[in-house]
Amino acid sequence: MKKILLTLFILASFLISKSQNCINVVNATLTNPSGDNITWRLTIDWTSSGTKHLNTTVLVGSDTVLNTCHQSQGNNRTGTLVYDNIISPLGSSNIRVFMVRNTGTCGNGTSCGGTVTIINNVLPLKITNITAKNIDNFTHISFKVESLDKVNRMRVNYVLPNNTKKYYDIKLPENIRIGDIITISINNINGTYIIK
């Protein structure tokens, strides 16, 4: 059975910008609560001020399994969206999530702040409960190690607004163990990182 590593591809505008003119994705996670590697849950924490909306699309392979719009109205709003029962027979490596942030109401308005994307890659390390948050100029990624196969590296990829890509190779601790909760704080400006 292939072991899975969830790697977030996040637009630089999401990592750096905190525009009040756009709904903000504070945290987005893809988890497998049943442990079957088939039935997935997408959780999105958001903040907004004014009339804004978030279009969320989930693809399993080339099939669209979720295409929804969440609209927020009013000042200083926060919330959590939960989408259960995302079915991927080939595991998380086959799931792609796109969150497009917009001003205005669903079906109207203007795209702003870029797209937030979660794409999963297959590597010989299995992790669960992955979260990523943007705080100031840092991306904080946290996950629980479920299994190991002598892997001590992972790659965090970013897609920039001009569609160019950059990535940071992260060297994990040599003494990493199953059950460890790992937090990686990446400086979005220079790529340096700290692992706890």
pLDDT-based confidence at 19, cuts 50/70/90?
A: very low
pLDDT tens sequence across 58-111: 988 888 999 999 999 989 999 999 999 998 887 766 788 888 989 999 988 888
CB-CB neighbours of 160 under 10 Å: 13
**Block residue for tokens 């804004």:** 52
Per-residue pLDDT, 6: 34
The amino acid sitting at 140 is H
Contact criterion met (CB below 8 Å) for 74 and 112:
no
CA angle 9, 126, 59 (to 5 degrees): 45
Residue 138 has pLDDT above 60, yes or no: yes
More confident residue, 119 or 187: 187
Max CA-CA distance within the chain?
51
What residues contact 179, with CB distance under 8 A and at least 6 apart?
144, 145
- 181: number of Cβ within 10 Å: 10
Confidence class of residue 179 from pLDDT cuts 50, 70 and 90? Answer: confident
> Letter for the amino acid at 87?
I
Mean pLDDT of 166-190: 82
pLDDT at 120: 56
pLDDT of residue 151: 56
Q: Mean per-residue pLDDT for 113-133? A: 67
Section 24-53 average pLDDT:
87
- Residue 65's pLDDT is 93
- Nearest C-alpha neighbor of 116 from the set 41, 15, 5: 15
Pick from 140, 155, 148, 145: nearest CA to 195: 140
Query: Which among 23-32, 143-152, 157-166 has the top mean pLDDT?
Result: 23-32
pLDDT averaged over every residue in the chain: 77
Mean pLDDT of 117-128: 60
* pLDDT on residue 150: 54
Q: Which residue has the higher pLDDT, 36 or 162?
A: 36
And the tokens for 82?
């939960």
Instruction: Phi first, then psi: give them for residue 164, nearest 5 degrees.
Output: -80, 160
The pTM is what? 0.54
In the predicted model, is pLDDT for residue 177 greater than 50?
A: yes
Ramachandran region of residue 162, left (φ > 0), alpha (ψ -120 to 50) or beta? alpha
When comparing pLDDT for 148 and 142, which is higher?
Answer: 142
